[in-house]
Amino acid sequence: MNRNLSIESVFTKSDLAKYPFLKETARYLSSLDLQIEDLTSSGMSQILDRAMERVTSAIVDFMVRPLIGVQGNKYIIKDLQKEIISFPVAVMLVSATDNSLIKKRYALAEAKQVTSELNSESKELVLKIALDFGWRIAFTPSDSAFEFILYFSDFLQNASHLHDVKWKLINSKLSEGNVYLNKHDVVRLLQEEIKRRIEKRFVTISIDKYPPEISELADKLKVLAAENIGQTETEFPKVVIQEAFPPCINALYNAASKNHHLPHIGRFALTAFLVNIGMSPESVTELFRSFSDYNERLTQYQVEHIAGERGSGTKYTCPQCSILQTHNVCKNRDDICKRIYHPLKYYKIKSEILPQNLPEKPDQVTKK
Ligand code: SF4
């Protein structure tokens, strides 16, 4: 392919604000020589707010809305400098969460936003962005039905992640090692490339200790993610953390540990909660051993039934808060309780907030 077809890679400041993942943006930012400590200064609060907005909308709405204003009859990016700087700050905030779901969600939301912008850009700008990724790409002669030719290995690197049959090499027009594509297809392939570049940034950031203000914001993002990223995408921690139990379950657990009587609904809620967060039925059975009415076979049967290991195989879930409130099991409600409707949701949120790598404590029960 004739590499002389490459167009000089000079972007406008508006391009850098719309496409902040570009190498040229990184060069621009390094000339500003920003340090992580600068982010917590009062002069940077607007940048930090905008960075939080970027990540928040990625988590909640699966998109990153640009800061748009109107000039005459045109839409423009409102504050170019803020928009450019807020991107690496947002990447740093996501990295500070140390949460793979947030990282994945943010990279994809930014990449999708770029796709919608790029579809309405000129093919010259699309080409410049593709060249920024080192793609071997060029325009086709003007009489071609396609607009671009892309070297097949660059095509495969990105198309291999796409499932539609149209992305199979065998279904593409191929000549002399180049795949013929229209602008829309190039933009779709760029989405994959952009997502990967953003994900790589998370790996390359190495900050040993974040300022407390940044850690606090990262905690807020983790709570938001626990509330908004679907249950199927999230997992409970690999150890059972009593510190993350909701107050109602904590009261039941402590009462059971001290052989205090539990009402039927309390036993059921505690058992269903524990088996759902990953405690083995044997450990749960053990918890009830010292009860005066303990019957090993019966307790084992009941616990295994709730865990879905007997009968129909259905795993029961803990009753939701409104039911526990009706039965007077809801106790010592705290701030997290105000945001949730189910004790398992409470546990998910609290275990996300607690520091990672908790030291082993007597109240921390390892999953069997
Ligand atoms: S609000 Fe829900 S999670 Fe909180 S203590 Fe009451 S029942 Fe438990």
- The CATH number of the domain holding residue 69 is 1.20.930
- Are residue 308 and residue 209 in the same domain, yes or no? no
User: Binning pLDDT at 50, 70 and 90, where does residue 192 land?
Assistant: very high
Mode of pairing for the β-strands spanning 137-139 and 148-151:
antiparallel
**Closest by Cα among 134, 185, 158 to 9:** 134
- What is residue 355's three-state secondary structure? coil
What's residue 245's pLDDT? 95
Confidence of residue 73 (pLDDT cuts 50, 70, 90): low
Among protein residues, the one with the nearest Cα to ligand 1's atom 8 is 248
Mean pLDDT of 74-89: 84
**For residue range 82-98, what is the model confidence (pLDDT) as tens digits?**
899 999 999 999 999 98
Paired tokens of 276 = 């759902």
Question: How many domains does the chain divide into?
Answer: 2
Tokens of 22: 């570009």
User: Averaging pLDDT over each range in 76-90, 218-232, 344-358, which range is the top one?
Assistant: 76-90
Give exposure, 66-90, as e/b (b: 16+ Cβ within 10 Å). bbeeeeeeeeebeebebbbbbbbbb
Q: Return the structure tokens found at 232.
A: 């199927």
Q: Which of 304, 243, 260 is nearest to 279 (CA)?
A: 304
Looking at residue 40, its pLDDT comes to 74
Atom nearest to 333 CA in ligand 1: 5
**Whether 180 and 111 share a structural domain:** yes
239-241 and 174-175 beta bridge pairing: unpaired
Instruction: Give the DSSP letter of residue 111.
Output: H
CA of 114 to the centre of ligand 1 (A): 42
Strands 239-241 and 364-366: antiparallel
And the tokens for 116? 């919608």
Instruction: Note down the domain range covering 294.
Output: 235-366
Q: Are residues 254 and 224 in the same domain?
A: no
Flag whether pLDDT at 53 surpasses 80: yes
Distance 73 CA to ligand 1 centre (A): 53
Query: 235: CA distance to ligand 1 center in Å?
Result: 20
* Digit-coded pLDDT (tens) for 202-214: 888 877 788 888 8
Residues 252 and 340 in one domain: yes
* DSSP calls for 16-49: HHH-TTSHHHHHHHHHHT--GGGGGSGGGHHHHH
Quote the pLDDT of residue 311: 61
* CA-331 nearest atom, ligand 1: 5
Ligand 1 atom with minimal separation from the 247 CA: 5
Q: How far is the CA of 345 from the centre of ligand 1 (A)?
A: 10
Choosing from 270, 317, 322, 324 the residue with most ligand 1 atoms within 8 A of its CB, the one to mutate for a pocket test is 324
For the cut 80, the answer to whether the pLDDT of residue 31 exceeds it is no
Give the end of a domain, one of 171, 195, 228: 228
Nearest residue to 189 (alpha-carbon basis) of 133, 109, 121, 125: 133
Q: What mean pLDDT is predicted for residues 16-22? A: 91
CA of 343 to the centre of ligand 1 (A): 6
- The residue nearest atom 6 of ligand 1, judged by CA position, is 330
Residue 150 has pLDDT above 70, yes or no: yes
Q: Among 206, 228, 250, where does a domain finish?
A: 228
Q: 72-81, 149-158, 231-240: which has the highest mean pLDDT?
A: 149-158
Atom 3 of ligand 1, nearest CA residue: 343
* Nearest ligand 1 atom, CA 329: 7
Confidence of residue 235 (pLDDT cuts 50, 70, 90): low
pLDDT value at position 7? 41
44 lies in the same domain as 131: yes
**pLDDT score, position 21:** 92
Of 110, 85, 274, nearest to 190 by C-alpha is 110
Kind and range of the H or E run holding 280: none
Residue type, 266: G
Considering the domain architecture, whether residues 99 and 123 belong to the same structural domain is answered as yes
Centroid of ligand 1 to alpha carbon of 145 (angstroms): 63
Q: Looking at residues 155-172, what average pLDDT do you find?
A: 84
Q: Both 252 and 308 in a single domain?
A: yes
Tokens of 73: 């009859």
Rounded to the nearest angstrom, the distance between the alpha carbon of 177 and the centre of ligand 1 is 62
- Rounded distance, CA 310 to CA 264, Å? 20
Spatial CB neighbours of 293, under 8 Å, sequence gap ≥ 6? none
- Write phi, then psi, for 30 (nearest 5 degrees): -65, -25
Verify that 131 and 63 share a domain, yes or no.
Answer: yes
Q: What atom in ligand 1 is closest to the CA of residue 246?
A: 3
Which pLDDT score, from 0 to 100, does residue 234 have?
52
**Which amino acid type is present at position 242?**
Q
140 neighbors 180 (Cβ within 8 angstroms): yes
pLDDT digits (tens, 9 = 90+) for 125-137: 999 999 999 999 9
d(CA 23, CA 38): 22
Same domain? 17 vs 145: yes
> Domain ends where: 184, 206, 228?
228
Residue among 330, 320, 281, 286 nearest 301 (CA):
281
CA 324 / ligand 1 centre spacing (Å): 7
Nearest of 334, 327, 367, 363 to residue 349 by alpha carbon: 334
**Is residue 249 located within the same domain as residue 204?**
no
* Residue 285 shares a structural domain with residue 302: yes
Phi and psi at 148, nearest 5°, equal -135, 155
Least confident of 225-234, 306-315, 328-337: 225-234
Q: What is the pTM of this model?
A: 0.60
Residue recorded with tokens 């590499």: 3
CA 338 to ligand 1: nearest atom: 1
Ligand 1 atom nearest the C-alpha of 324 is 7
Interval between CA 42 and ligand 1 midpoint (Å): 38
Q: 270-294 pLDDT, tens per residue? A: 999 998 898 888 888 888 887 777 7
CA dist 177 and 128 (Å) reads 21
Helix or strand or coil: residue 260? coil
Residues with CB under 6 A from ligand 1: 246-248, 321, 324, 330-331, 333, 337, 343, 346
- One domain for residues 306 and 285: yes
Q: What are the beta bridge partners of residue 174?
A: 179
Q: What is the mean pLDDT of the chain?
A: 83
% of the chain with per-residue pLDDT over 70: 88
